Amino acid sequence: MARRPDLVGLTVLAMLSVRPAHPYELHRFIVDTHKDYVTGLPRSLYHAVEKLAGEELIVPVETSREGRRPERTIYEITDEGRQELATRLRRLLETPDAERRTFTAAVSLMGALPVSDALQALRTRAASIEGALVGLNAHMKALQDSGLPDVLTVELDYERTLSEAELAWIGRLVARLESGELTWSGTVNEGLLAQVLGTS
């Protein structure tokens, strides 16, 4: 059984690629920007931070305390963390998965990649979906030719419809990126992140 991608850890790496922050700030950003694919908050976030720190993908850089509040540790991403972020994100963007939440997360964070890398990953994904659709259409035709009632293959038609819709959406996204209509400076929406995290 394939290991499920760590979407919480991926999100932490993407946010820390913009600037150092402490877990409470990251939690606020996830909630305020409706990253609804991140579940189990706040426990999952603190667990992800602890795991990433243990793998030295992020490191603590400062601990502060305001009044009687608990200490807050600020983390920053390491060079290894940046490489891991890029590798994980490219893989999730380019590899179709039955769990559509994974692609939602990858698209949500693709601003952490250079535009050229995101484009290449999306084109790879589109090619994979096109290949899968050719196979699915052939399989459905063979079932129909065998005389199998359509009602027994309706789930295949549903899967085909979802794949066709995703393929069309990717095509529009690629066109926006190629035309320059959609672009970014290489990190997750910096302005929004700075606004939500503030200056603390």
User: CA nearest 20: which of 66, 58, 75, 60?
Assistant: 75
| CATH number of the CATH domain containing 74 | 1.10.10.10
Model pTM above 0.75: yes
pLDDT at 70 > cutoff 60:
yes
Instruction: Supply the range of the domain harboring residue 67.
Output: 1-200
Q: How many domains does the chain have?
A: 1
pLDDT band at 4 (very low <50, low <70, confident <90, very high): confident
User: CA nearest 98: which of 21, 196, 2, 186?
Assistant: 2
pLDDT band at 54 (very low <50, low <70, confident <90, very high): very high
